[in-house]
Amino acid sequence: MAATTGTIGAPRRGVLSRIAGAVTSGPASIFLIIVGLMWLVPTLGLFFASMRSAADNTATGWWKIFTEPAQLTLESYRNVLDNPTMVDGLLNTTLITVPATLLTVLIAALAGYAFAWVTFRGRDALFLLVIGLLVVPLQVALIPVSRLYGSLSVSGIPGVVIFHVAFGLPFAIFLLRNFFVGIPKELLEAARMDGAGELTIFYRVVLPLGIPAIASLAIFQFLWVWNDLLVALVFAGDSSPLTVVIREQTRSFGANIDVIAPGAFLSLIVPLIVFFAFQRYFVQGIMAGATK
């Protein structure tokens, strides 16, 4: 009986592979670069507007600096740094964002490890409850939580931090649990055989391996909290973050453009610095999640 001869050649490319090849081709790359530059136009406009005086911004558009570069000045940034309201807003934003990010990451890492590798009664049901909380919009909790805060006399920065931690935990736990499940079981069993407890395994084995996912989560949480406006409007009170301060300035937009533009750019540049500082871990976390 004659043997069947197979076709020799390159394997057939899948649909996703062909799409990826088309996207990375020359014309498509040029198109994506153009789209990316168009997305940068508002950011560049904000930056150049922040480098012009209020009179120049009122008289002409920001693109005038290309013909009159002498309009560029740092006077607006000096005014912002001399403005106690803007400085307090920047400080309050930091005091809200840093604790809300660190607490969310720490609690989610511990809970994610427990859901992934610690056996306890009701674990699966509790994890399903956490997943269910992902679909709950924070808007529906504003009034109940506001009443709860009133009865407990919680307000200001602590109230905003607690709210962000509570609503950031479901996604954070879900993300880290799914990442921790991919850790080889043999590593954990070897640590247990050496007499390590669960906390030791968590700090010595799981955390170092989970740095990419933890860094990705920290970036997401930092951006969400830093750019928040709604929760701060409801719970911050007199401890207004930068987003609320800038919103108040927009009531007299024409008169306060020299404050709004540099303040808004400062609010924009800090998350960018955080993102680029952890970009390597962020890419690793995204790629690891895609290949598991």
Closest CA to 54 of 268, 271, 259: 259
* Tens digits of pLDDT across the chain (292 residues): 445 554 455 455 555 555 555 555 667 778 778 887 888 888 888 888 888 877 777 777 778 888 788 778 888 788 888 888 888 888 999 999 999 999 999 999 999 988 988 888 888 889 889 888 888 888 888 889 989 988 888 888 999 999 999 999 999 999 899 888 888 888 888 888 887 788 888 888 888 888 888 888 898 899 899 988 889 988 988 888 988 888 887 765 555 677 778 888 888 888 888 878 777 766 665 555 444 4
Residues 243 and 145: their CA atoms lie apart, in Å, by: 21
Residues 198 and 200: their CA atoms lie apart, in Å, by: 5
DSSP 203: I
Q: What is the pLDDT of residue 254?
A: 52
Q: What is the pLDDT of residue 92?
A: 92
Given this structure, which CATH class describes domain 78-291? mainly alpha
Q: What is the pLDDT of residue 189?
A: 83
Q: How many alpha carbons fall within 13 Å on the CB side of residue 84?
A: 1
Q: What is the pLDDT of residue 93?
A: 92
Tokens found for residue 73: 């000045």
Residues 264 and 104: their CA atoms lie apart, in Å, by: 26
Q: What is the pLDDT of residue 101?
A: 94
Residue ranges with strand state E in 154-262? none
Domain spans of the chain, in order of start: 18-73, 78-291
Residues 251 and 259: their CA atoms lie apart, in Å, by: 12
Q: What is the pLDDT of residue 290?
A: 45
